[in-house]
Amino acid sequence: NAGVTQTPKFQVLKTGQSMTLQCAQDMNHEYMSWYRQDPGMGLRLIHYSVGAGITDQGEVPNGYNVSRSTTEDFPLRLLSAAPSQTSVYFCASSYLLGAGNTIYFGEGSWLTVV
C-alpha cells in the first residue's frame, strides 16, 4: 500500500515550458485534489475531482489543467510555466469523510520556474 505518490519530487522549468505533475493513489479513493503552497502560506486548492471523469476548479485554477481518466490517477498539467507558479504542490485523496475516513496527502512536488 503506497498511499499517495507524487512524481517528480523536484523539477526546474524554464518560463514557457509545459510539464505534468503525476499523482497516483492505490486506495480506490473517489476524491482527489491538487494544492499549491507558496512560501510562508497555507495550501490553496487548484483543482479537485469527485470521481473518474469529473473535475472542477478550486481557488487558484488559472494556468493549470487536470483530467481524471481513472480512479487511481489525477495528473496536473502546467500549460506554459510562469515564475509565479514556483511553489510546492501537494496531491490529496480520500473517501467521503462522513464515515470517519482520513485525507491522505502526498509528500509534495517542489517546482521552480526560472
- Between CA 66 and CA 105 the distance in angstroms is 17
* Residue 41 sits in the site that holds another protein (CB under 8 A): yes
- Per CB under 8 A, the list member of 13, 23, 25, 35 interacting with another protein is 35
Q: Between residues 37 and 65, which has the closer beta carbon with respect to another protein?
A: 37
Residue 77 is which amino acid?
R
Which range binds another protein by CB under 8 A, 15-23, 42-50, 60-68, 70-78? 42-50
Q: Between residues 55 and 85, which has the closer beta carbon with respect to another protein?
A: 55
Q: Are 64 and 47 in contact (CB under 8 A)?
A: yes
- Between CA 50 and CA 66 the distance in angstroms is 13
Phi and psi at residue 48, to the nearest 5°: -145, 165
* Residue 52 sits in the site that holds another protein (CB under 8 A): no
What 3-state class would DSSP assign to 83?
helix
* Residue 60 sits in the site that holds another protein (CB under 8 A): no
CA-nearest of 7, 19, 6, 3 to 77 is 19
* Residue 42 sits in the site that holds another protein (CB under 8 A): yes
User: Residues interacting with another protein, by CB under 8 A?
Assistant: 30-33, 35, 37, 40-45, 48, 50, 58-59, 88, 90, 92-94, 96-98, 102-103, 105, 107-108
